[in-house]
Amino acid sequence: MQFSYELKDSYAEVKSSGRLNMVAAPKLRELVSEVVAGGNSRIVVNLEETVFMDSSGLGALIGCLKAARQAGGDLRISGVQPQVKMVLELTNMDRVLAAYDSPEVAFSND
Amino acid sequence: MTEILAERSFRGLATPEAIESVHNHLDAIWADAAFVPDTDQMIFTTAVIETAANVVQHGRPIGDEPVELGVELTVSATRLQAKVSAFHAIEPIVPYDDAELPDEDSESGRGLALIKALVTTLIFERQDETNTWILSKDSRPES
């Protein structure tokens, strides 16, 4: 699992690739905390290359969403693949974590 | 007796890294059993990883020996099965049939509900200081 981030004009894009499981989840939390602490609370997690997510990965996304909102921003996700979509739907979290086709459109209407 | 067409097994200390090994075994069994539809592979992989992660996260040792995780995977023509065990472990504190989804804000507690939504049957057994969850999913090759 690898994470990286890039600051764009109106948001920070966090790229996640591989398996978002209990090994990777703490690393995602850590990275997003850093990004938020740096003054960027509008975050898009790009999941285009995330082939798998379990409930600990989902928990990390929810924790990151809360951190972004507490800092006055929001966290949105993009490029959701079939397995991640299934986990979001079965846990009813697709209503909470807004999914967009691409990082560029996630904050385009704000 | 249904013929086993592919099988894999893992046993090791119940650490987060063990989850990666179990996932690699799942990827390998699907390579051996490519006739299993992609959707069934995805569903079953998710259920097995959730169950194994549950052992790593909540397994507590009963004595001096650390908790070990065991996973036995078998594929037959119509059924996928996994026996996920926690060796040298106390009985689970959370009853395995307690599978309510938590509040939206909660950052944990969705694993069991997810497992139940994914498998055809889930059986729990405890014997000789070992907790075993037997997951099975009906699966037939796409015609």
ipTM field: 0.93
Domain parsing of chain A, residue ranges:
2-103
pLDDT beneath 50: ranges in chain B: none
Kindly report the nearest CA distance between residue B99 and chain A, in angstroms: 11
Q: How far is B67 from B89, CA to CA, in rounded Å?
A: 6
Q: What is the CATH number of the domain that holds B60?
A: 3.30.565.10
Interface of A with B (CB under 8 A): 19, 21-23, 52, 54-56, 58-60, 62-63, 66, 82-83, 86-87, 90-93, 95-96
Q: How far is CA A84 from CA A6, A78, A88, A100, in A?
A: 22, 11, 6, 13
Q: Which CATH superfamily is domain A2-103 in?
A: STAS domain (3.30.750.24)
What's the mean pLDDT when you consider all of chain A? 95
pLDDT band (50, 70, 90) for residue A47: very high
What's the mean pLDDT when you consider all of chain B? 93
Question: Using CB atoms, which residue from B49, B113, B117 is nearest to A21?
Answer: B49
pLDDT tens per residue across span B108-126: 889 989 999 999 999 999 9
pLDDT tens per residue across span A61-98: 999 999 999 999 999 999 999 999 999 999 999 999 98
- Do B42 and A87 lie within an 8 Å CB cutoff? no
Q: Is residue B68 part of a domain?
A: yes
- Do A21 and B19 lie within an 8 Å CB cutoff? yes
- The count of domains in chain B is 1
Q: Is residue B51 part of a domain?
A: yes
Q: How far is B69 from B14, CA to CA, in rounded Å?
A: 5
Q: Which domain holds residue B91?
A: 4-99+108-138
Q: How far is B141 from B143, CA to CA, in rounded Å?
A: 6
Kindly report the nearest CA distance between residue B41 and chain A, in angstroms: 10
Cβ B25 vs Cβ B8: under 8 Å: yes
